[in-house]
């Protein structure tokens, strides 16, 4: 399957402002690119790429006063298979976890394990261990929260989402992550493109989305508490402890997002070659 994806993002700056962006396809998907995924900028300063502490491809620049526009468009090949489901996978005891996983057991900015631990053990302490326990958490979050773009709030934490019972995809991910970590299951935040491929068309199509990954049986598995069903065509952009590590842009001055146009759709090979 081929997917065409890209964006045009406009950022209004009060003055010249240093800016970081996590807007590149994750290095783990680089081999799947069928056209270059080059980011262009209307600013005079170059975009400088480097890997951040979580292995994401970060771009740095200095945005000029006024409007900065960032664009990219690319074609990527995808397996066309839905997220893997592996009900036989088991939890890995904490003492046996590799270094790459143990850092995703602790609480973080948006995932307060200290405030959710008692709830987690009361709800899931008797659930079957392993994949089934993570899926039980996903189903709980999916049923607990009501999704709506009007509920978006950048400062909402996992505990607050649980109490308010509303949120957007990042809130679903944060709550599920916090509950998994409370049960000693490493969980990390993930974000990227997720188009409405293989699902019915909806009035408000998906573009960028958040989900999470849980460490089971020696590897990471994708889970999505917002949709609670395996999906096709995820294009990973960034991973981290929570949304604070995966912000699309981080500016060091007063800025305002004024344009956010995303494309992610399946294309035929003949179209991609045209």
> How does DSSP assign 49-64, residue by residue?
EEE-TTS-EEEEEEEP
CB 21 within 8 A of CB 249: yes
Q: Which residue ranges make up each domain of the chain?
A: 2-79+248-273, 94-232
Show contacts of 266-274: CB within 8 Å, 24+ apart.
Answer: 266/1, 266/2, 266/3, 266/4, 266/195, 266/197, 266/233, 267/2, 267/3, 267/4, 267/75, 268/2, 269/2, 271/4, 272/2, 272/4, 272/34, 272/35, 272/75
CB 258 within 8 A of CB 12: yes
CATH architecture of 2-79+248-273: Sandwich (2.60)
Q: Given this model, what pLDDT does residue 269 score?
A: 63
Q: What is the pLDDT of residues 42-81, one digit of tens each?
A: 999 999 999 999 999 999 999 999 999 999 999 999 999 9
Say whether 85 sits in a helix, a strand or coil: coil
- The first and second tokens of residue 186, run together, are 């490493």
Q: Given this model, what pLDDT does residue 205 score?
A: 62
CA 38/CA 49 separation, integer angstroms: 11
CB 141 within 8 A of CB 176: yes
CATH number of this structure's domain 94-232: 3.10.620.30
Q: Given this model, what pLDDT does residue 203 score?
A: 62
CA 153/CA 170 separation, integer angstroms: 10
Task: Count other C-beta atoms under 10 Å from residue 76's C-beta.
Answer: 23
In 3D, which of 98, 114, 229 has the Cα closest to residue 181?
114
Q: Given this model, what pLDDT does residue 200 score?
A: 80
CA 83/CA 85 separation, integer angstroms: 6
CB 55 within 8 A of CB 239: yes
Output the tens digit of pLDDT for each of the chain's 274 residues: 999 999 999 999 999 999 999 999 999 999 999 999 999 999 999 999 999 999 999 999 999 999 999 999 999 999 999 999 999 999 999 999 999 999 999 999 999 999 999 999 999 999 999 999 999 999 999 999 999 989 999 999 999 999 999 999 999 999 999 999 999 999 999 999 999 888 887 666 668 999 999 999 999 999 999 999 999 999 999 999 999 999 999 999 999 999 999 999 999 765 554 4
Q: Given this model, what pLDDT does residue 268 score?
A: 76
CA 40/CA 74 separation, integer angstroms: 12
Say whether 103 sits in a helix, a strand or coil: coil
> How does DSSP assign 148-165, residue by residue?
-GGG--TT--HHHHHHH-
| Model pTM score | 0.94
């Amino acid at each position: 399957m081929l997917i065409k994806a890209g964006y045009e993002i406009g950022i209004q700056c009060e003055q010249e402002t240093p800016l970081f962006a996590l807007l590149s396809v994750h290095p783990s998907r680089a081999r799947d690119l069928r056209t270059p995924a080059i980011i262009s900028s209307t600013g005079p300063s170059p975009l400088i790429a480097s890997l951040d502490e979580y292995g994401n491809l970060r771009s740095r620049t200095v945005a000029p006063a006024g409007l900065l526009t960032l664009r990219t468009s690319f074609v990527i090949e995808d397996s066309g298979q839905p997220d893997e489901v592996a009900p036989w996978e088991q939890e890995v005891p904490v003492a046996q976890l590799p270094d790459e996983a143990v850092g995703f057991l602790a609480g973080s900015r948006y995932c307060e394990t200290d405030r959710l631990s008692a709830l987690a053990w009361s709800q899931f302490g008797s659930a079957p261990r392993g994949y089934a326990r993570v899926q039980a958490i996903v189903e709980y979050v999916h049923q607990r929260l009501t999704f709506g773009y009007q509920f978006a709030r950048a400062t909402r934490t996992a505990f607050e989402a649980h109490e308010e019972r509303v949120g957007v995809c990042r809130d679903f991910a944060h709550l599920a992550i916090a509950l998994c970590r409370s049960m000693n299951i490493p969980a990390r935040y993930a974000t990227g493109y997720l188009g409405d491929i293989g699902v019915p068309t909806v009035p408000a199509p998906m573009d960028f989305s958040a989900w999470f990954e849980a460490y089971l049986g020696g590897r990471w598995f994708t889970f999505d508490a917002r949709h609670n069903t395996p999906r096709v065509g995820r294009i990973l952009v960034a991973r981290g402890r929570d949304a604070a590590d995966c912000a699309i842009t981080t500016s060091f001055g007063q800025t305002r997002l004024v344009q956010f146009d995303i494309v992610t759709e399946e294309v035929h090979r003949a179209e991609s070659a045209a």
